[in-house]
């Protein structure tokens, strides 16, 4: 499991598991192309994001990852791009 505090990535051949320190997780697969994130403001966790995957057959999958910095987003984007060919972007 790769660790970039405060989120962890486990890279498999056709998917990546993203988990925060509280145990929240989301699975990203090679078939996921509608992936985005939004920054949200929380009193005790000012650098949180809502990570969303839109799967037409299943609807939206969302997870809140807390204490995420811009460097974490860059690392996550690099891992998704190199392993799954996916580019992470801000939600509209």
Mean pLDDT rounded to a whole number for the chain = 77
Cβ distance 38 to 60 under 8 Å? no
pLDDT at res. 47:
67
Query: Once rounded to an integer, what is the mean pLDDT over residues 76-88?
Result: 86
pTM of the model: 0.70
Query: Once rounded to an integer, what is the mean pLDDT over residues 29-40?
Result: 79
Domains by residue range for the chain, with CATH = 2-90 (2.30.29)
Query: Once rounded to an integer, what is the mean pLDDT over residues 58-79?
Result: 79
How much helix, strand and coil, in percent to the nearest 5, is found in the chain? 15, 45, 40
Query: Once rounded to an integer, what is the mean pLDDT over residues 2-15?
Result: 71
pLDDT at res. 3:
44
pLDDT at res. 4:
47
CA distance 72 to 88: 12
pLDDT at res. 1:
46
Of 5, 7, 64, residue with least CA distance to 37: 64
The tokens describing 2, both together, are 């790769």
């Amino acid at each position: 499991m790769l660790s970039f505090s405060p989120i962890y990535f486990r890279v498999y051949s056709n998917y990546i598991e993203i988990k925060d320190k509280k145990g929240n997780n989301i699975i990203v697969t090679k078939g996921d192309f509608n992936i985005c994130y939004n920054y949200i403001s929380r009193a005790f966790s000012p650098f949180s994001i809502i990570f969303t995957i839109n799967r037409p057959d299943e609807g939206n999958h969302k997870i809140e990852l807390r204490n995420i910095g811009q460097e974490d987003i860059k690392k996550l984007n690099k891992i998704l791009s190199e392993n799954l060919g996916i580019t992470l972007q801000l939600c509209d």
